[in-house]
Amino acid sequence: MYKMFIENVHLDSNERLCSDPAADAIFQILSGARNFKLLMHALEIGLFDEIAVFGEPITAETAAKKFQFNAASFRRFLDTLVAMGLLKKEVSMKGRELYSNSSGTSKYLTRCRKPTLIAAALMESNFVMPMLDILPLALKTGSSSINVMGTKKGVNTDKMDNVSNKPPQNTPPEMNEQKSADKLMKFLLCMDGMAQPCAPSLVRAFDLSAHRNVVDLGGGSGSIALELARTYPQTNVTIYDLPHVIQMAQKIQRDVPSHVTFQGGNFFEEDLPDADLYIFAHVLHDWEEEKVDILLEKVHDKLPPGGSLLVLEKVLNERRDGPLLTVTSDLIMSLISKGKERTESEYRKLFSKHGFSNTCVKTIEGVNYYDAILTKKPFC
Ligand SMILES: C[S@@+](CC[C@H](N)C(=O)[O-])C[C@H]1O[C@@H](n2cnc3c(N)ncnc32)[C@H](O)[C@@H]1O
């Protein structure tokens, strides 16, 4: 008995008693699930906006009054958000505990500021979580059953809020139109929020200053292209996407510099605008191999010798078991599309099959959805 006890005692590197490290990953996953729920509640009641509008650190009592909540319970909620890194707590000279938004929360989780990860949180909650319910079925059949990216229309936003198989309701067409416009807006804002924290690093991963005409194919909200335009003011930048997406992107982006243009079109069906640098950001991973081949062939044909293709996708490690966000993205791709995430060697092989060379990969460190891959059309 004593021996058993000794065997199960764990010490950390400083010889301090600790719990069994074999349970750590499990507890982390369990607490992640709780934390996500708590974040969604905070967003739902508009807590971070209320704190931002208040303009100065706020006591739990004042905040509780605003929401008509019980002050003692609310304080515990606020302290949990502090522990999660979403709020900060400081103690005033008079010994009062004051709460304010953390810098990440101010930047990404308040509605008064753009960029926002609120849309990404809603997408997780309203789309990804319910979609994962069908995982056992998808594992059985081995095929994707939710088609988010339609071949012609691009984003099929009908599936975004709800993935249950409810029959369509009898609603007037203009209401349906409004509904799908709202969903498209949510999708673009989600992509926008996911791209924004990386965009400055992505456009600086390689020196792109020699390029004069850049076209971001499937540019979505245009946030990456706009960051590129700000970084390389001598370059003409075109944000290219399906016409209805472009209309929406123009509503999202204000203060667009004169060297940036929006162009609607279908990259499968139409001639591509001229460029010496094309970008595919989170586009190649959406499509099956044959469609990826069509896109790469079109881009290669259009590029002048010496022209470049910048692919912005998170690269899987060669064992396909990391980074975690990318592995889960790959699993989700298998549910919603025929696309997939790729390893560095898979990208290299893909590009060289289409005549590209000098492929370079730059990892964007941190927790994010993008790395940068530059590949070239050789001079001869
Ligand atoms: C996953 S989103 C990526 C958006 C953006 N590049 C980003 O990284 O945030 C894929 C984009 O490809 C666009 N797309 C899909 N099919 C298209 C087509 N046939 N022609 C042009 N764009 C298309 C979608 O509308 C969508 O904006």
Tell me: pLDDT of 85 over 90: yes
Give the integer Cα–Cα distance in Å for 270 and 291.
14
Whole-number Å distance, alpha carbon 340 to ligand 1 midpoint, is 15
228 lines ligand 1 (CB under 6 A): no
Give the pLDDT band (50/70/90) at residue 154: very low
| Overall average pLDDT of the 44-73 stretch | 97
Helices (H), the chain: 2-7, 24-45, 47-54, 60-67, 71-83, 103-108, 118-123, 129-132, 135-141, 173-195, 199-204, 223-231, 243-252, 289-302, 324-336, 344-353
User: How many CA atoms lie within 13 Å of 111's alpha carbon, on the beta-carbon side?
Assistant: 9
Give yes or no for residue 277 CB within 6 A of ligand 1: no
Ligand 1 pocket, residue 281 CB under 6 Å: yes
pLDDT recorded at residue 197 = 96
Q: Does residue 267 register a pLDDT over 80?
A: yes
pLDDT for residue 1: 45
Best residue for ligand 1 mutational test, from 149, 194, 271, 373 (most atoms within 8 Å of Cβ): 149
pLDDT at 297 over 90: yes
Show the tokens assigned to 67: 């929401």
For residue 364, pLDDT beyond 90: yes
The per-residue pLDDT for 238 is 98
236 C-beta closer than 6 A to ligand 1: no
| pLDDT above 70 for 225 | yes
- Whether the per-residue pLDDT at 338 is higher than 70: the answer is yes
Quote the pLDDT of residue 162: 37
Whether the pTM exceeds 0.75: the reply is: yes
Greatest alpha-carbon pair distance for the chain in Å reads 77
Residue 257 has pLDDT above 80, yes or no: yes
Q: How many CB atoms lie within 10 A of CB 124?
A: 15
Average pLDDT over residues 72-97: 97
Closest atom of ligand 1 to 216 CA is 6
Pocket lining: 339 vs ligand 1, CB cutoff 6 Å: no
Strands 10-11 and 260-264, by their bridges, are unpaired
Ligand 1 close to Cβ of residue 189 (< 6 A): no
Does ligand 1 come within 6 angstroms of the Cβ of 67?
no
60 CA to middle of ligand 1, Å? Answer: 43
Question: Does the beta carbon of 115 lie inside 6 Å of ligand 1?
Answer: no
pLDDT at residue 127 in the model = 93
Lowest mean pLDDT of 22-36, 83-97, 102-116, 299-313, name the range: 102-116
Domains and CATH numbers, the chain: 21-108 (1.10.10.10), 118-190 (no CATH), 192-376 (3.40.50.150)
Choice among 93-107, 165-179, 310-324 with the minimum mean pLDDT: 165-179
Torsion of CA 317, 320, 324, 326, to 10 degrees: 80
| Ligand 1 atom nearest to CA at 152 | 19
